[in-house]
Structure 1
Amino acid sequence: MNELSRRAVLRGIGAIGIGAGGLAMFPSVAAAATLTRVLVFSKTAGFRHDSIPAGIAAIRTLGSQNGFTVDATEDAAAFTTANLAQYQVVVWLSTTGDVLNAAQQTAFESYVNGGGGYVGVHAAADTEYDWAWYGGCCGAYFSSHPAQQQATVVVEDRTSDSTAHLPATWSRFDELYNYRTNPRPNVHVLMRLDESSYSGGTMGSDHPITWWHDVGSGRAWYTGLGHTIESYSDPLFTRMLLGGIRIAAKATTTTPPPTDIELARGRPVTVSSVESGTAHNGANAVDGNSGTRWSSAFADPQWISVDLGSTRQVRRVRLTWEAAYGRAYRVETSTNNSTWQQVYSTTTGDGGTDDITVSASARYVRVTGTQRATQWGYSLWELSVLGT
């Protein structure tokens, strides 16, 4: 069998009180003292969201409950160097279209690059398409969206001030944006959408929806959620938004997730079968040698499982297929080698390299093929498990 050309495919695979109106209160801590004033900007030159008034009211309430003043405007004349200097954060609340002139753009660039904070909410990504700096600050531009619907949000980083209160998976109703580019290479992703949980996603299994990153000496935080009026009375959402404002203001400690390491290399492997008359055993898939492989019997189903030795935080599973690849397969994890949780599945595998984003605490990782793409079995050059 000949090795297929590699086709990299991103797949994804303090006490909190609740105040009036379902808005999150945050305890007073020393770091929060730097957050004193926030500007909410909601000018629209395109579609106008009817949730903007609710968003402004929610942020005002967050301010009154957490010790910072909130000003709101739709007047782009507020974007001068002198005026912006009084704010730690500017929230772009579902802005759309071309909303600043050249001088105002320059003032905002200088503000953020000089240490100011940017928070983008929902349609902030549908704004200023001809201003490249802004696209980089936001992280990605809007591309499209399906009808509003229920979807599962996967919380990748639960150490962040804006996500620590959320469950590992968060089911919510919203308008779910697709983006022109995947921002992951340039930002710290906090949450992603599980496209298998709804219809109309176009980014595959790596679909970031909330993130933060540094911009010059400043910091930006963005979420694609927040289309609906109801979002702004949802305590989970408003607490997330409060955390985002604090992150952008650098009023809270924010650390990127730890660097992933290879967890499967040289670990014990078990398999359902080995191709008859060959030395293509399971250990070949975790030996780090791209010239050796595991190959199964020529039948469905087949599986390969690796023991990581202890429970680890698994973030990615990378499968490097030989020519005999899986058309349909699933990835499962377990802490005890008996109870398994499915973290990814596909029926449209196309070989090459599948780089699957997951979020699981696991000692064992198993890949089960249920439909072969060829007359042969399942054959992997490498099964790589990345995490901490």
Structure 2
Amino acid sequence: MRLPLLCCLCLVLLPWPAVADDAILVFTRTARFRHESIPVAVDTLRTLAAGQGLRIDHSEDGAAFTPANLARYQAVVFANTTGDVLDGAQQAALQAYVEGGGGFLGLHSAADTEYDWPWYGELVGAWFHKHPPGLQTAQVMVANDGHDGHDGQRWSVTDEIYNYRRNPRPFVQVLATVDESSYEGGTMGADHPIAWCRPMGRGRSWYTGFGHDAAVYADANVLALLRRGLAYATGATAAC
């Protein structure tokens, strides 16, 4: 049966994903270093998603990245992925998904992923450069952005603190920075972003550098930050 022209136009104009389950896809494939904290990250995301009325599907199979499959999800999370994890067709599917209205959330070494794909570099905001050895305790400064009354809040966190290949600030909205005077090995200077977000086409991207150490997923401040990221990536809130 032939659809009326008006219906066809509606189908074409609907933002991606046109129909999505109450679910997010958590992707943890690694082609380089593998974080021992990945199972904890997945369990934490499952709990946080449930608090927002969502479930998660966890996969390490790049075959999950097809237009039809991604249309099932409200957001895609790269949780400590590393290296080249998607082939060309899978990359095209993720790009179309995000630019068409889907959400992306990256944790920690999501910034150590897909270095040969320029669009992904813009999606994640900044690629990993290096980090100081071991875990360190750093002071975190929350940006003055009018979100949840946390403007200017400072707190400490113990984790592996990334330095990035560029300062993403000109391209993103910075949500939190780390104070390099509070730990050793920072190379980005007085402005060292550690969490940020940005629109991508009709979609959304949110990233934090936290998530190396399993224990950080029990940190109340990091959990609050991740709740914020999930809400933005899934489109539950317009502000990140």
Q: TM-score range by the shorter chain?
A: 0.7 to 0.9
Assess, with a 3 A threshold, how the Cα gap between structure 1 residues 35 and 185 changes in structure 2: closer, same or farther: farther
Describe how 1:55-204 pairs up with structure 2 within 5 A. Answer: 55-147=41-133, 148-157=135-144, 159-160=146-147, 164=149, 168-204=153-189
C-alpha separation in 1, matches of 2:86 and 2:159: 28
* Corresponding residue number in structure 2 for 1:247: 232
The runs of 4+ residues in structure 1 deviating greater than 4 Å are 164-167
| Higher normalized contact order (CA 8 Å, seq sep 6+, divided by chain length) | 2
Amino acid in the other structure paired with 1:242: R
* Corresponding residue number in structure 2 for 1:49: 35
Percent identity at matched positions? 53
C-alpha separation in 1, matches of 2:21 and 2:142: 26
Describe how 1:169-318 pairs up with structure 2 within 5 A. Answer: 169-254=154-239
C-alpha separation in 1, matches of 2:157 and 2:48: 21
* Corresponding residue number in structure 1 for 2:4: none
Assess, with a 3 A threshold, how the Cα gap between structure 1 residues 38 and 157 changes in structure 2: closer, same or farther: farther
Assess, with a 3 A threshold, how the Cα gap between structure 1 residues 217 and 207 changes in structure 2: closer, same or farther: same
How far does residue 158 in structure 1 lie from its aligned partner after superposition?
5.0
Query: Any conservation in 2 of the 1:165–1:236 contact (CA below 8 Å)?
Result: no
Amino acid in the other structure paired with 1:253: A
Amino acid in the other structure paired with 1:129: Y
**Higher Cα radius of gyration:** 1
Query: Any conservation in 2 of the 1:35–1:249 contact (CA below 8 Å)?
Result: no
What is the TM-score when the length of structure 2 is the normalising length? 0.88
How far does residue 89 in structure 1 lie from its aligned partner after superposition?
0.6
Amino acid in the other structure paired with 2:55: T
Amino acid in the other structure paired with 1:254: A
Assess, with a 3 A threshold, how the Cα gap between structure 1 residues 187 and 35 changes in structure 2: closer, same or farther: farther
* Corresponding residue number in structure 1 for 2:5: none
Amino acid in the other structure paired with 1:98: D
Equivalent residues, number = 220
Q: Which runs of 5+ in 1 are unaligned?
A: 1-33, 256-388
Deviations 1:90-139 (A, max 9, x none): 01001000000000000000000000000000000000000000000000
C-alpha separation in 1, matches of 2:186 and 2:199: 27
Amino acid in the other structure paired with 2:218: S
By percentage of residues, which structure has more helix?
A: 2
Assess, with a 3 A threshold, how the Cα gap between structure 1 residues 99 and 156 changes in structure 2: closer, same or farther: same
| RMSD over aligned Cα atoms | 1.6
C-alpha separation in 1, matches of 2:90 and 2:74: 17
What is the TM-score when the length of structure 1 is the normalising length? 0.55
How far does residue 77 in structure 1 lie from its aligned partner after superposition?
0.4
Query: Any conservation in 1 of the 2:83–2:114 contact (CA below 8 Å)?
Result: yes
How far does residue 231 in structure 1 lie from its aligned partner after superposition?
1.4
How far does residue 167 in structure 1 lie from its aligned partner after superposition?
6.8
